[in-house]
Chains A and B, each alone.
Chain A
Amino acid sequence: MNWMLRLYPARWRERYGEEFDAVLASQRVSAGLVLDVLGGAVDAHLHPQIRDSHSEQIKGDDTMTLAMLQRCAAGGPKLSPSERRIASRLTILSALVMAVLYLVLTKIYREAPAAQAMLYASIFSTSLVYKQIAYLRKRSWLTQAFFLGAGLSAMYLFMLAVCVIAGKL
C-alpha cells in the first residue's frame, strides 16, 4: 500500500508522508481504503493546502490532467516550474495537433488504418512528449524537435503496422 503515497504531491509527502504512512499501515486493506487514499491524492493535487515559493507559479498549470502527466514523469529528472510549464503546454499542443490530424485523416481515408493508427498513437503521445521534453530539456531546440518528431513518427508507424495486421486477421 505504500506505493499509493507516491500519488500525492511531493510537498505534501514531505510534510505528511511519514505520519500518513503510519496511519495507513494501521488500517486493514479494503476497496474503501484504496478509494479513500485515491480521493485524498486527487484532493491534494486539486486543493493544495501547503504553499511554497513556487506554488503561485504552478497554480495556473495545476489541473488534474497536468498533475497526472507530471506523475507519469515522476521517475524522470526534476523540472523547474518554468520547464514544467513549457513541457505541459507542448504536451497539450501536441495532443491538439494529433487530434486535428486524426480528423483530417478520417475525412480523407474514413476508417482506414492510416486514420485509426493516428487515434491510437495520440493516446500515448502525451506521455511520450512530456517525457522527451523532460529528458532533453538541456539540449538545443533542434535536437529536441528531431527526437520528438522521430519518436512520434515511430509510434505512428508502429500503430499503423498494428492496424494493417489487425485488418488482415
Chain B
Amino acid sequence: MMRKPKDDAELADFGRFSEPALLILVSLADGPRHGYSMTEDIEAIADVRLGPGTLYGALARLEARGLIEPLKSEDRRNPYRLTALGGRALRARLDSMMTVARTGQRRLASA
C-alpha cells in the first residue's frame, strides 16, 4: 500500500467526521464562511445537508488541528477561514482522491 503524504494524514483520524470535514474544507476554499453559509454551500455542491451536531463536531476538530481558524465577528455567526495547513491538507486529499478516481475510471474503461 502507498504511504499517505503527511498533509493528507491530517484528515485521517477524523473517523465519522472525515467526510464532513473534507466538505467543510472544500467550502472554505472559496473564502471565509460562517456555519449556516457552509451548510447551504455544501448542500449545493454535494447534495448533503449537514446537521449542526455533525457540522460543529467537524469544525471543532478542524480548528483544534489548525486546519481552519475563526475570524472576528460582530454578530453571533462566527466566520471561519482555511489556514495554510488546511489548504495543503485539502490539496493532498483531493490529489489522493483524484488518483483513485482516475485509476477506477481507467480500469472500468478497459474492463
**Residues of A in contact with B (beta carbons under 8 Å apart):** 12, 15-16, 18-24, 26-27, 32-33, 36-41, 43-44, 49-50
The segment from B24-32, B34-42, B87-95, B103-111 that touches chain A is: B34-42
> What chain B residues lie within 8 Å of A32 (beta carbons)?
51
Contact partners of A41 in chain B: CB under 8 A = 53
CB pair B60 A36 closer than 8 Å: no
On whether the beta carbons of B76 and A18 are closer than 8 Å, the reply is yes
Cross-interface CB contact of A49 among B35, B49, B63, cutoff 8 Å: B63
Interface contact B51-A20, CB-CB below 8 Å: no
Interface residues of B in 34-73 (CB under 8 A from A): 34-36, 39, 49, 51-57, 59-61, 63-64
B60–A50 contact, CB under 8 A?
yes
Residues from chain A with a CB closer than 8 A to the CB of B52 are 20, 23-24, 27, 33, 36-37, 40
- Smallest CB separation, B90 vs chain A (Å): 19
Cβ contact within 8 Å between B60 and A37: no
B residues with a Cβ closer than 8 A to A are: 34-36, 39, 49, 51-57, 59-61, 63-64, 76-78
- Tell which of B35, B59, B63 touches A22, judged by Cβ atoms closer than 8 Å: B35
A22 and B76 contact, CB distance less than 8 A: yes
Chain B contact surface mostly: helix
A12, B56: Cα distance in complex, Å:
10
Q: How far is it, in angstroms, between the C-alpha of A19 and the C-alpha of B76 when the chains are bound?
A: 5
Tell me the complex Cα distance, A24–B49, Å: 12
Contact, CB under 8 Å: A49 / B61 = yes
Is B54 a contact of A39 with CB atoms below 8 Å? yes
Q: From A15, A22, A26, A39, give the contact of B53 (CB < 8 A).
A: A39
Within 8 Å CB of B76, what residues of A?
A: 18-19, 21-22
Q: Given that A36-B52, A37-B52, A43-B53 are contacting pairs, would A23 and B78 also be in contact in the complex, using a CB cutoff of 8 Å?
A: no
Complex contacts, A16 vs chain B, CB 8 Å: 56, 59-60
